[in-house]
Structure 1
Amino acid sequence: MLRFLEVFAKGSQIHVPVGSPLIRKIPIFVDEHDVTAGAMKLIKVLRPAWDTSDVKTKLFTDGTTNKLVGCYVEDSPEDVVLVRVYGHKTELIVDRDNELKSFQVLHANGCAPRLYCTFLNGICYEFMQGDALGTQDVRDPSLRRLIAGEMARIHAIHAHNGCIPKPNLWIKMRRYFSLVATEFTDQASNVRIQQEVPSKAVLEQEMAWMKEHLSTLGSPVVLCHNDLLCKNIIHNEKDGHVRFIDYEYSSYNYQAFDIGNHFNEFAGMAELDYGLYPSREMQMDWLRVYLQAYKLFSQKGEEVSARELETLYVQVNKFALASHFFWGFWALIQAKYSTIDFDFLGYAVLRFNRYFETKPAAMALQIPQ
């Protein structure tokens, strides 16, 4: 109880709307090496009318945190149940309780699919119709506007029951750092970490500097997605909207972090290309649409001044630095524990390198007086 009060006092807790349905819990464990067999056990409970011999499955392979399979029958192909099995040791990097609360809050506000149940090592939820975007799609002018508007809608959601929300960026980054710090000892077994990743002292120094500098930029603390990579954006062309999926990292955070993180994701993930990072002109177009929508959703008018726009541009490009560090630490943890076939260590190195490359230009930016 004391721990709960401590978290509550910090204001980082997401509050589920009163009257939200209770989440169904099914006591089934799904083997991550045989997801389909476990998924069938869940389908028997969630869709008892389905004949399991008729159930089709589709394995999604884009994820770098979890295993995901879709289940459906040919008679109703629009009703796809997604079964997501949490990756090995992901409880170290993901607050599962917070994820479920985010899911509920976003669904109550029309921004997320239905959550059908939790099971012992995962969740089942509704499939969102549409196409996952790629690095070229997020640059498309019409899609950019839809994405900016949807992010504004989420940022304007009140999910804190009156208390002042606090960002969890620094707490989470510090926790990630403490998890990887053991790999930085002189006896650490991983030679690549020793040779390619900045030293523990340098990383700690940069973290302290970022917290001191970025905390003073005046970026509002809002409900953030925090992981808006291309594949987490679903475009429903028929209905003319985009929705965001995967809320594992959702929390209260700085508005500018969520946007800066999304801009970093323009580069992709499997084959990073920072030549795709949006130009100032592209960012200004995106940010103008975002600010108009955010002010509208927050009932603060719709007019956007040149000063507001420039301020957000500066905040976003400075907070993009923190995004590199956050996912750099995340990738180092994944390199140690994940069973997914991906060069997490190489990815961490690229993110830390990008931080040091872009820091001078980002620091030269000044918020207009």
Structure 2
Amino acid sequence: MGVAEDPVNNKDATQNLVDNKLGEAENPANVKEIVAENPIDDKGRPEENPIKDMADCLPDEATQILKSLASEWENVLDANALQVIPLKGAMTNEVFQIKWQTTAGETSRKVLARIYGEGTDIFFDRDDEIRTFEFISKNGQGPRLLGRFAHGRIEEFIRARTLSASDLRDPSISALIATKMKEFHDLDMPGPKKVLLWERLRNWLSEARRLCSPEEVETFHLDTMDKEISSLENELSGTHQRIGFCHNDLQYGNFMLDEENNSVTIIDYEYSSYNPVAYDIANHFSEMVANYHTETPHVLDYSKYPDLEERKRFVYTYLSSSGQQPSDSEVQQLVDEVEKYTLANHLLWGVWGIISEHVNKIDFDYKEYAKQRFQEYWSRKKHLLSSDESSHDNVTYINGEQAPISIPGEKPANVFRKLKKLFGLGLFRSKH
């Protein structure tokens, strides 16, 4: 059950490990319970599979912080008797529900422990993330920070359920998401309000090239990707764009639904920054093709991408949530911008997948994921952009699918053999 053997005897020493408790969190008895990222079974009930040996997943520093927190809760029977339950669906960090048995007739006490994934500091600055977390928490937009340790943190646990992939297609839930997204974008985050998208994309590309073999660089066109990024930036950047504080990772697992109050909370702000709001909406639409709770979580099904009616409905709700009814032309303009920004999403998360394949130990086929994102970029680019300066017009197709490689003068059969040798036959599974 994850019961610690030795009680914490030096509370002062342990308390020094609990860093920057915020507001009400200084009184742990008042902490709200937030059910975040909880996996569900086929009947919609939470799955709970406690780990018997905490040493396998939690560092000692985290365990001491957890015991210190629980020792201040009057209704916890034994602060040292904590259960550690891994939560599924995370691709950047390892996430655990921590719970304690409480006095008769009361629900268990719970918090969330987040262990940062190996090598993920490549993607974002953890100090910036914590500052964002604190600001959003103080503005009532998410869970509170309860403690920090060297490679992770302890968060509040909200009584709500994590959305599933299918929830994103529910019109009523989608409307809640659109409204909450507009509220999030309107946050007045301290610091420079500078678009980060293009700088981040170039930095990640540089890191991907450093980590990849020459063959991988050629396979994924990383050697000429700078041109694609510059072309996109020139095409998409404009003075008319709405810039807001964007989440940048709006997959279903980062939305919590409180069904009693009919409200949505956005969680996990690691990738958050100022960006065009069209990019954030495009990210959300692109995530509708994914289901990270299947036996093949990396496989994307683009037949599930929202149709034009769904996209217009979402954008209309987003724009009208501030109290003013948008015109048809305003809705159409933002819908068009969003579609173009799906291209930037595909490039960014494709590069992310390549880097993650080299640095992250989580069980996820990052390379196959990257391949699908790049394929979607190349297949949609000419349709969405007014000008196409791509140097990859001669793209190879295999079994009707676009292969992420083009070698001048090489026959398709040779391309197939090279890809097969590099990735194995699994590369050519249909993404549907």
Question: Among residues 195, 207, 212, which one is paired with 1:167 in the alignment?
Answer: 195
How many angstroms apart in 1 are the aligned matches of 2:306 and 2:277?
A: 18
Aligned-residue offset at 1:241: 0.8
Matched, 1:122 2:152: yes
Q: Percent identity?
A: 30
Distance across 1 between alignment mates of 2:109 and 2:24: 22
How do residues 173-212 of structure 1 correspond to structure 2 at under 5 angstroms? 173-183=201-211, 188=213, 191=215, 193=216, 196-201=219-224, 203-212=225-234
CA contact (8 A) 1:138 1:266 kept: yes
State the partner residue of 2:87: 60
Alpha-carbon deviations, 1:328-367, whole Å to 9, x = none?
Answer: 11111111111111111111111111111111222259xx
RMSD: 2.3
Instruction: Determine the C-alpha separation between the residues in 2 that align with 1:256 and 1:132.
Output: 24
Would the aligned equivalents of 1:217 and 1:315 in 2 still touch at CA under 8 Å? no
CA displacement 1:39-74 (0-9 Å, x = unmatched): 432211222244244322211121111111111223
Residue 212 of structure 1, CA deviation: 1.2
Shift of 1:196: 4.2
* Larger RCO (CA within 8 A; separation ≥ 6): 1
Shift of 1:263: 0.3
In structure 2, which of residues 54, 70, 80 is the aligned counterpart of residue 47 of structure 1?
70
Post-superposition Cα deviations, 1:259-296, rounded to whole Å, max 9, x if no partner, equal 00000000015131111110010000010000011x33
1:340 to 358, 362, 370: 362
Q: Which of 321, 328, 345 is the aligned partner of 1:323?
A: 345
User: Which structure is larger by alpha-carbon Rg, 1 or 2?
Assistant: 2
Report what 2:412 is aligned to. none
- The TM-score with structure 2 as length reference comes to 0.71
Tell me: CA distance 1:22–1:321, structure 2 relative to 1, closer, same or farther (3 Å).
Answer: farther
Residue 35 of structure 1 is matched in structure 2 by 58
Q: Structure 1: how far apart are the matches of 2:351 and 2:24?
A: 34
TM-superposition CA deviations, 1:1-47 (whole Å, max 9, x none):
xxxxxxxxxxxxxxxxxxx75999xxxxxx99522765432211222
Q: Work out whether residues 221 and 254 of structure 1, in 8 Å CA contact, stay in contact via their aligned partners in 2.
A: yes
* Aligned residue among 276, 282, 294 for 1:260: 282
8 Å CA contact retained: 2:211, 2:358 = no
Matched to 1:209, the amino acid is S
TM-score by length of 1: 0.82
Partner of residue 106 from structure 1, selected from 123, 126, 136: 136
Amino acid at match of 1:61: K
Q: Which position in structure 2 is the counterpart of 1:13? A: none
Partners of 2:244 and 2:277 within 8 A in 1: yes
Amino acid in structure 1 at the alignment position of 2:263: H
What is the SS of the residue equivalent to 1:117?
Answer: strand
Unmatched 5+ stretches in structure 1: 1-19, 25-30, 297-301
CA distance in 1, matches of 2:211, 2:317: 43
Partner in structure 2 of residue 273 of structure 1 = 301
* Residue 271 of structure 2 corresponds to residue 249 of structure 1: yes
Distance 2:129 2:195 in 1: 15
What is the letter of the counterpart of residue 115 of structure 1? L
Larger % of helix: which? 1
The CA distance in 1 between the partners of 2:320 and 2:218, in whole Å, is: 46
CA contact (8 A) 1:35 1:67 kept: no
Match of 1:146 in 2: 176
Alpha carbons of structure 1 residues 61 and 135: separation in structure 2 relative to 1, 3 Å: closer
Number of residue-to-residue matches in the alignment: 326
